[in-house]
């Protein structure tokens, strides 16, 4: 049985749906970050698959930049999270209903 | 044949690992399941012939990002169970499925209409890492440098945000010294 592009796209969709369910379910901000990592990874799979089946390197390039963006997002997000935890003692999403510093 | 076996094996493993990461109520289980899922994701990159991308996936995600999360978890109280939002599961699954379907349409529309032409075709007789390097340092040089600057900015921002006043606790400072929120003032008052 031959594995085609549609197999990879379906897999990527399933992973993206799992990530979305996590984003909607989680209230803890650290676990919300985990769910966003799953979203970015599922899109990377789709990029690599399309890049392979069309014989083009552009998809892999985009996947690299997505990984770079994910790394910097984690650095800044965790820094903000640590500051927030120092101030309030909680990292629940419901505490962030106000924009007051 | 082996490709199909590998694909289905790693698909099942990845889906189950990410489901654990999303559905469990223990933060530590979520972290380890996420790390395992990231490594299984890199298997797809190796199957697809994107060797360099697979190596980068392992190094960056499981080496850097997950280690950063593990260090971050030391700051938080992760022993207690995670409280979940009270949303109806029908809504969550319906919206998740619809959004995922939208993503498929976005990806599939140019493929179905055959609008994709190979901009930088894969050359013969060149390894994947070499081909990636040639494209990255010629056609994508400016985005590469911008990404480098972005990573530098993120690193400095992370250091400043997390490392500021690391020796003193922000919640124990005087009220006029730090711009604290209402919750902290209440905690300090009690």
Instruction: Say yes or no: B50 and B11 in one domain.
Output: yes
Instruction: Say yes or no: B53 and B9 in one domain.
Output: yes
Instruction: Say yes or no: B79 and B10 in one domain.
Output: yes
Looking at the predicted structure, is the pLDDT value of residue B76 above 90?
A: no
CB B72 within 8 A of CB B91: no
pLDDT for residue B152: 93
- Interchain contact B29–A (C-beta under 8 A): no
- Residue identified by tokens 């498929």 is B104
Q: What is the DSSP string of B87-121?
A: --HHHHHHHHHHHHHHHHHHHHHHHHTT----SSB
Instruction: Say yes or no: B60 and B25 in one domain.
Output: yes
Model confidence at B64, in pLDDT bands (50, 70, 90)? confident
pLDDT for residue A79: 86
Looking at the predicted structure, is the pLDDT value of residue B19 above 90?
A: yes
- Interchain contact A29–B (C-beta under 8 A): no
Domains of chain A: 5-97 (1.10.287.3510)
Q: Show residues of chain A in contact with B15, CB under 8 Å.
A: 11, 14-15, 18
Establish if B89 belongs to a structural domain: yes
CB B32 within 8 A of CB B62: no
How far apart (Å, rounded) are the C-alpha atoms in residues B137 and A59?
15
Looking at the predicted structure, is the pLDDT value of residue B165 above 70?
A: no
Instruction: Say yes or no: B108 and B68 in one domain.
Output: no
Domain boundary among B84, B106, B139: B84
Establish if B76 belongs to a structural domain: yes
Distances (CA, A) of A87 to A14, B81, B127, B181: 37, 21, 51, 7
Per the structure, the complete domain to which residue B120 belongs is given by 85-125
Low-confidence ranges of chain A (pLDDT < 50): none
Instruction: Say yes or no: B40 and B15 in one domain.
Output: yes
Between B127 and B166, residue with greater pLDDT: B127
pLDDT for residue B180: 46
Mean pLDDT calculated for residue range B79-96: 70
* B53 vs A25, A55, A64: nearest CB: A64
How far apart (Å, rounded) are the C-alpha atoms in residues A44 and A12?
8
B149, HSE (Cβ side, Cα atoms, 13 Å): 5
Establish if B6 belongs to a structural domain: yes
Instruction: Say yes or no: B5 and B23 in one domain.
Output: yes
Instruction: Say yes or no: B8 and B73 in one domain.
Output: yes
Model confidence at B113, in pLDDT bands (50, 70, 90)? low
Instruction: Say yes or no: B96 and B67 in one domain.
Output: no
Looking at the predicted structure, is the pLDDT value of residue B115 above 80?
A: no
How far apart (Å, rounded) are the C-alpha atoms in residues A86 and B156?
19
Instruction: Say yes or no: B80 and B90 in one domain.
Output: no
CATH of the domain at B32: 1.20.120.1200
Instruction: Say yes or no: B74 and B31 in one domain.
Output: yes
Distances (CA, A) of B182 to A101, B44, B59, B162: 9, 48, 41, 21
Distance from CA of B91 to the nearest CA of A (A): 10
Model confidence at B84, in pLDDT bands (50, 70, 90)? low
pLDDT for residue B168: 62
> Which tokens in the block code for residue B89?
């599961």
Mean pLDDT calculated for residue range B14-43: 91
pLDDT tens digits, A13-41: 889 889 988 888 887 888 888 999 999 99
* B21 vs A13, A38, A73: nearest CB: A38
> What is the count of structural domains for chain B?
2
């Amino acid at each position: 049985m031959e594995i085609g592009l549609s197999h990879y796209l379906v897999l990527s969709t399933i992973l993206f749906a799992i990530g979305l369910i996590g984003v909607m379910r989680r209230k803890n901000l650290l676990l919300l970050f985990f769910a966003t990592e799953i979203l970015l990874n599922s899109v990377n799979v789709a990029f690599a698959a399309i890049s392979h089946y069309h014989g083009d390197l552009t998809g892999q390039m985009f996947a690299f930049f997505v990984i770079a963006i994910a790394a910097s997002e984690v650095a800044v997000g965790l820094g903000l999270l640590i500051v927030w935890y120092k101030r309030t003692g909680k990292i629940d999403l419901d505490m962030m209903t106000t924009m007051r510093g | 044949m082996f490709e199909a076996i590998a694909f289905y094996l790693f698909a099942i493993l990845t889906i189950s690992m990410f489901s654990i990461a999303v559905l469990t109520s223990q933060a530590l289980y979520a972290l380890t399941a996420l790390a395992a899922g990231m490594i299984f994701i890199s298997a797809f990159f190796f199957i697809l012939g994107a060797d360099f991308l697979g190596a980068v996936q392992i190094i960056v995600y499981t080496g850097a990002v997950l280690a950063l999360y593990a260090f971050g978890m030391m700051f938080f109280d992760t022993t207690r169970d995670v409280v979940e939002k009270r949303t109806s599961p029908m809504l969550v699954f319906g919206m998740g499925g619809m959004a995922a379907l939208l993503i498929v349409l976005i990806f599939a529309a140019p493929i179905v209409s055959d609008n994709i032409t190979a901009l930088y075709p894969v050359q013969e007789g060149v390894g994947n890492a070499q081909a990636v390097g040639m494209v990255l340092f010629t056609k994508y040089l400016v985005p590469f440098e911008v990404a480098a600057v972005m990573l530098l900015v993120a690193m400095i921002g992370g250091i400043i945000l997390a490392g500021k006043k690391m020796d003193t606790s922000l919640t124990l400072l005087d009220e006029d010294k730090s711009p604290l929120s209402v919750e902290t003032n209440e905690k300090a008052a009690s």
